[in-house]
Amino acid sequence: MAKVLLITGASRGIGAETARLAAARGYSLCLNYLHSEQAANELLESLLAGGHEAILFQADVSDEAEVEAMYRAIDDEFGRLDGLVNNAGILEQHSDLVDMTAERWRRILDINVVGSFLCAREAIKRMSTRSGGKGGSIVNVSSRAADLGGPHEYVDYAAAKGAIDSMTIGLAKELGDQGIRVNGVKPGLIYTDIHAAGGEAGRVDRLKSGVPMQRGGYPAEVAEAILWLLSEASGYTTGGFIDVSGGR
């Protein structure tokens, strides 16, 4: 039977590319999205047309009831879960911290951190060998910003990704004897729409000369790292991180 994978924020960017690669590697998929209904439907249709098994589920990852309903839909549709990619994430307009509001910080932390915690909690309930599950793999999509700090752009987002890194380390230890591996990927400057949300669609091209490899990265390059961490090929790796950042 095919392994079942939940990818949050799968409608666009890194999440959508991870979905395409995971389908090609034989996973059955639950694709989560929030606002981009058309893009999510187009992705679903292309996967189904290719003979892959997938469902869509609209849920705000920071909403506990919606996340619980999404996992119940996975239970009903597939009856098992083997992996989670905590990919959904947001940033906001570039700004110094001194000009940010508490309301913004709450949104950033709610979606990037609480959302990942909620999705991890529900995945653990289903995958932990301690509660009768078959084990599994969680991959958290962090960011190189967690180490670089995001000055003058988004210290709040960088700090949220720092929290994801701590969660990855702690959960890996907590779940090491429950059959669940937990790892992170840290993308650098990747060509997706997220930079437009920060107010600078051309950010990757502006900054790429500061990347040792002298170029931005592509969602498919991040997806490859995620798929490796999900797979048995990384079976003795937990609490680890892969930088996908061209050396930056």
State the catalytic residues: 157
Supply φ then ψ for residue 152, to 5 degrees: 65, 5
Q: What residues line the site for ligand NAP (CB under 6 A)?
A: 8-9, 11-15, 32-36, 60-62, 87-90, 111, 115, 141, 143, 187, 189-190, 192-194, 197
Which residue's entry shows tokens 């490796």? 228
Residues with Cβ within 8 Å of 96's Cβ and at least 6 positions away in sequence, in order, are 152
Residues with Cβ within 8 Å of 242's Cβ and at least 6 positions away in sequence, in order, are 183, 184, 185, 186, 225, 228, 229
Is 222 within 8 Å of 14 (Cβ atoms)? yes
Cβ-based nearer residue to ligand NAP, 61 or 81: 61
Q: How many residues does the chain have?
A: 248
Cβ-based nearer residue to ligand NAP, 119 or 127: 119
Q: How far apart (Å, rounded) are the C-alpha atoms in residues 167 and 161?
A: 10
| Selection from 6, 172, 1, 182 nearest residue 87 by Cα | 6
- Taking phi over 0 as left and psi of -120 to 50 as alpha, with beta for the rest, 48 belongs to alpha
How far is residue 231 from each of residues 25, 71, 137, 238, measured CA to CA in Å? 10, 21, 8, 12
